[in-house]
Amino acid sequence: MRSLLLALLASTSLMTTTAQAADPAPPANTEARTPLADLGKDDPYKWMEEIEGERPLAWAKAQNTRSLAILQGDARYAGLESQALAILNAKDRVPGVSFAGDGSLRNFWQDADHVRGLWRKTTLESYRTAEPQWETILDIDALSRAENANWVFKGASCLPPDETRCLLTLSNGGKDAVSIREFDTTTRTFVEGGFALPEGKQNVAWLDKDTLLVAREWEPGQVTKSSYPYVVKALRRGQALADAKEVFRGTPDDVSASAYTLTDADGKVVATLASRGISFFESETYLLTDVGPMKLPLPLKHSIQAYVAGQMVMSLEQDWPERGFRTGDLISFDLAAFKAAPAKAAATLILRPTARQSVESVTTTRDKLMVGLLDNVTGAALVYDHGPGGWTHRKLALPANSTIGLGSASQKDDRLFVTVTGYLTPSTYWLADAASLKLEQVKASPARFDASTHVVEQFEATSRDGVKIPYFVVRPKGVKYDGSAPTLLYAYGGFQVSMTPAYSGVMGKLWLERGGTYVVANIRGGGEFGPAWHDAALKANRQKAYDDFFAVSQDLIDRKITSPRHLGIMGGSNGGLLMGVALTQRPELYNAVVVQVPLFDMIRYSQIGAGASWVGEYGDPAIPSERAVIAKYDPYSNLKVGRKYPEVFIETSTKDDRVHPAHARKAAARLEELGYPVLYYENIDGGHAASANLAETARRQALEYVYLSRKLMD
């Protein structure tokens, strides 16, 4: 369930009976709940929660005018924006590609001439050349002009095995709520009379060429408290939405429900499953059969990852003592045996990571299971074969001490694309044959900045409870350990998301090349060392993530790599919450704070945007004991007069329907009310990424580095 939500709720014979409502999960806490209306009822800025209300938008535009005059008025701004845009729009960027069932390689491309982007294709032979020949499948700029729409392309789900019929996902301005339309890649047109789903937060999967499994808001208000769908229906070609047949139903108190299929390499559906998300991390999985949904006897914290060689592959985010498995294990079931008798089917251990390892990604070629493994935040790619003796594995001989990403895999053979990157190493693109282990470097990204002046080091800080917290430092070779280095510290620390070394041409050009030092902290709450590293900072233990961050900050100061005068921090979304906590708890450590698309009002967060879906991460403010924990670190209520807060830079997007812009708006308004200087920028488009195209991305990044230069370099 977690992987589906992190992908924004992405995806036998058709069942013929309507699913019964699943039994609600037992409440995690039996305390009397505080009425939601009482939470933050005295908040003077509650009016900012009207996402596109006239008053909030007028306030945001006034803030933009004031802040942009300062940041864009800086003599460095134009040059930084130009450099960022040149890198983002560079014609010699390496286009990432994906295998398609029709034998082509597909790519989505944006540049100065194609701001909204081109969905296009080429051949492998052409892709190997210096200048591949591309054929346009769909021009999003042209489509937007023709329909007078503000389309942002969010991807396509194509029907295997040939993948010529695709469900295109289009967003108005970058929102999570999307429209879905059927497209034919052979005629390069939308299918006349084809599937067309109006805007909404929805999850759609192909069941067969004439049937979709759709989770959406079927009736007004038929969504969970997290604003996601909980009713799944089968929609036949040519059928009105009102006539779709219900096949699964969760409850309004769930996070969401969705349905998806497992298919073999030839596109044949081998299992149809439904997932009922009880929390962001807990889900029940159901096998959808002719007689209705059958709940599978699996632990609540599990993720079905793949199907290959007759095996259903699953990762565990909790111990499963009845079966002898541990948190972080990767296991498999023979799917036929599991479907016949789920409780009796034997499970096989594929991989048990050590305490300093984590299974980062899983994918399949036609016959092989591919596993991306992190080992002390360094990547490896493993090839697994299944045979009579179980699972055996080999390792792809890719460059060491790098971040390795498993890319698109072919279902016609055992080839897949793999990326290799690092902080100072431009990304390289490899074509790997998982059968022979043969590797071919097919592309290499050009360098975007002079990396010869910097080195990468890994250190450890000791957190408040004695736990060692690793972090990376990218610094000038000749840096003087006198505390004068302008240093930007980045972290996330939540939702089991790992922060691994990656090349950023814009960061390198706008920061490193100008003498800056860049630091990434692998604090608890992330996934660098598996589910246990994440679980260590959940709910009541949330402060541990913040203590880890402060420990890294202090360690940088103690090593005299930098000092509070020259130390700035940046984080977005959950990392934006981290920035708010750092501002309110340890402002003396920092001279610059970039708060990107943040959570900030943690007392009301579960009522704003998709906030209710994150109760599994932070706790429920409506439960007094859990609210007491949240209140201790809640940035919004802990902003106080008389503190030496640095001038912060807060960013958000009006179109962000995941983390509501009210969080950022309230933060800025409250700081101003208390008499603190604040810079604020609200992009009217952009969704949760805070930018809908490369031009907006360049503007945002230039604003950030102007601010950081003013605070840490001047």
The confidence band for 11, taking pLDDT boundaries of 50, 70 and 90, is very low
Ordered DSSP codes for 635-668: HHHH--TT--PPPEEEEEETT-SSS-THHHHHHH
Residue 25 predicted with pLDDT over 90: no
| Tokens 């305490």, located at residue | 355
Q: How many residues does the chain have?
A: 714
Other Cβ atoms less than 10 A from the Cβ of 310: the count is: 14
Three-class SS state of 12 = coil
Identify the CA nearest to 596 among candidates 497, 534, 681.
Answer: 681
Q: What are the residues whose beta carbons fall under 8 Å from the beta carbon of 582, sequence distance 6 or more? A: 546, 549, 550, 553, 569, 589, 590, 593
Phi (first) and psi of residue 113, to 5 degrees: -90, -15
CA distance 630 to 618: 7
pLDDT band of 552, cuts 50, 70, 90? very high
Active-site residue identified among 114, 386, 566, 688:
688
Higher-pLDDT residue of 349 and 689 is: 349
Locate the DSSP E strands across 526-644. Answer: 567-572, 592-596
Query: Residue 226's pLDDT band (boundaries 50, 70, 90)?
Result: very high
pLDDT over 90 for what percent of the chain?
91
Q: Left, alpha or beta for 155 (phi > 0: left; psi -120 to 50: alpha)?
A: left
The tens digit of pLDDT for each residue in 147-189 reads 999 999 999 999 999 999 999 999 998 889 999 999 999 999 9
Question: What pLDDT score was predicted for residue 709?
Answer: 98
Backbone angles phi, psi at 436, to 5 degrees: -95, -10
pLDDT tens for 589-640 read 999 999 999 999 999 999 998 999 999 999 999 999 999 999 999 999 999 9
Q: What pLDDT is stored for residue 692 in this prediction?
A: 66
- Other Cβ atoms less than 10 A from the Cβ of 145: the count is 12
The answer to whether residue 679 scores a pLDDT higher than 70 is yes
Rg of the chain, C-alpha, whole Å? 25
pLDDT confidence of 685, banded at 50, 70, 90?
low
Q: How far is CA 627 from CA 33, 510, 602, 611, in A?
A: 10, 41, 9, 15
Name the H helices within 298-452.
335-340
Place of tokens 């999967």: 205
pLDDT for position 338: 98
Question: How many CA atoms, within 13 angstroms, populate the side-chain half-sphere of residue 358?
Answer: 24
**How many other C-beta atoms are found inside a 10 Å radius of the C-beta of residue 320?**
17
Helices (H) and strands (E) in the chain, counts: 15, 37
Candidate from 8-22, 568-582, 685-699 with smallest mean pLDDT: 8-22
Q: Which helix (H) or strand (E) holds 379?
A: strand 378-387
The dihedral formed by the CA atoms of 545, 546, 552 and 557, expressed in degrees to the nearest 10: 180
Mean local confidence (pLDDT), 454-479: 97
**pLDDT attached to residue 383:** 98
Q: For 231-265, how does the pLDDT look when each residue is reduced to its tens digit (9 = 90+)? A: 999 999 999 999 999 999 999 999 999 999 999 99
Give the full edge-to-edge strand order of the sheet including 454-462: 454-462, 468-476, 517-521, 487-490, 567-572, 592-596, 648-653, 678-683
Please indicate whether residue 660 is annotated as part of the active site: no
Q: How confident is the model at residue 474 (pLDDT cuts 50, 70, 90)?
A: very high
Of 8-12, 37-41, 323-327, the poorest mean pLDDT is in 8-12
For the segment 451-474, the average pLDDT, to the nearest whole number, is 97
Mean pLDDT of 521-533: 97
Q: Sorting pLDDT into bands at 50, 70 and 90, what band is 21?
A: very low
* Helix (H) or strand (E) run with residue 378 in it: strand 378-387
d(CA 44, CA 638): 15
Nearest to residue 569, comparing CAs of 633, 517, 534, 526?
517
On whether the CB atoms of residues 188 and 164 are closer than 8 A, the answer is no
294: nearest Cα among 334, 254, 255, 338: 338
Q: Quick one: DSSP state of residue 588?
A: G
The residues with which 302 forms a beta bridge, in sequence order, are: 316
Q: Determine contact, residues 608/49, Cβ cutoff 8 Å.
A: yes
In this predicted structure, what is the pLDDT of residue 37?
85
Q: Is the pLDDT of residue 98 over 50?
A: yes
Q: Say which residue the tokens 């920092």 belong to.
A: 590
Query: Between β-strands 151-158 and 135-139, what pairing exists: parallel, antiparallel or unpaired?
Result: unpaired
**For residue 232, what pLDDT is reported?**
98
Mean pLDDT of all residues in the chain? 94
pLDDT tens column, 640-668: 999 999 999 999 999 888 889 999 999 99
Alpha-carbon distances of 176 from 202, 448, 689, rounded to whole Å: 9, 32, 10
d(CA 223, CA 258): 12
DSSP code of residue 9: S
CA neighbor of 96 nearest in space, from 107, 83, 81, 104: 107
Verdict on whether the full-model pTM lies above 0.85: yes
Pick the closest to residue 169 from 194, 152, 149 (CA basis).
152
Ranges 223-227, 284-288, 330-334: which has the least confidence: 223-227
| pLDDT number for residue 689 | 57
In this structure, the dihedral spanned by the alpha carbons of residues 543, 548, 554 and 555, taken in order and rounded to 10 degrees, is 170
Q: Is the pLDDT of residue 300 over 60?
A: yes
Angle between helices 574-585 and 662-673 (to 10 degrees): 20
Q: Are 393 and 570 in contact (CB under 8 A)?
A: no
- Selecting among 279, 427, 553, 573, the annotated active-site residue is 573
Mean pLDDT on 305-319: 98
pLDDT confidence of 23, banded at 50, 70, 90?
very low
Q: Before 161, cis peptide (omega within 30)?
A: yes
Percentage of the residues of the chain whose pLDDT score is greater than 70: 95
Side-chain half-sphere CA neighbours of 529 within 13 A = 17
Q: DSSP labels for 269-286?
A: EEEEEEEEESSSS-EEEE
Q: What is the mean pLDDT of residues 678-699?
A: 80
Query: Is 234 in contact with 207 (CB distance < 8 Å)?
Result: yes
Q: Could you tell me which residues come within 8 angstroms of residue 480 by beta carbon, excluding any fewer than 6 positions away?
A: none
Is residue 469 within 8 A of residue 523, CB to CB? The reply is yes
Residue 3: what pLDDT? 43
- Helices 54-71 & 662-673 angle (0-180, nearest 10): 70
Tell me: pLDDT of 19 over 70.
no
Round to whole Å and give the CA distance between 67 and 69: 5
Q: From the CB of residue 201, how many other CB atoms can be counted at a distance below 10 Å?
A: 23
Residue 223: what residue type?
Answer: V
Count of CB atoms situated within 10 Å of the CB of 409 = 24
Confidence of residue 28 (pLDDT cuts 50, 70, 90): low
Is residue 357 within 8 A of residue 389, CB to CB? The reply is: no
Q: Give the DSSP per-residue string, 457-471.
A: EEEEEE-TTS-EEEE
Query: Is 573 a known active-site residue?
Result: yes
| Contact in structure between 593 and 578 (CB atoms under 8 Å) | no
- At 20, the pLDDT band (50, 70, 90 cuts) reads very low
Cα angle 314, 318, 321 (rounded to 5 degrees) comes to 95
**Using CA atoms, how far apart are residues 538 and 524, in angstroms rounded to an integer?**
9
User: Is the pLDDT score of 358 beyond 70?
Assistant: yes
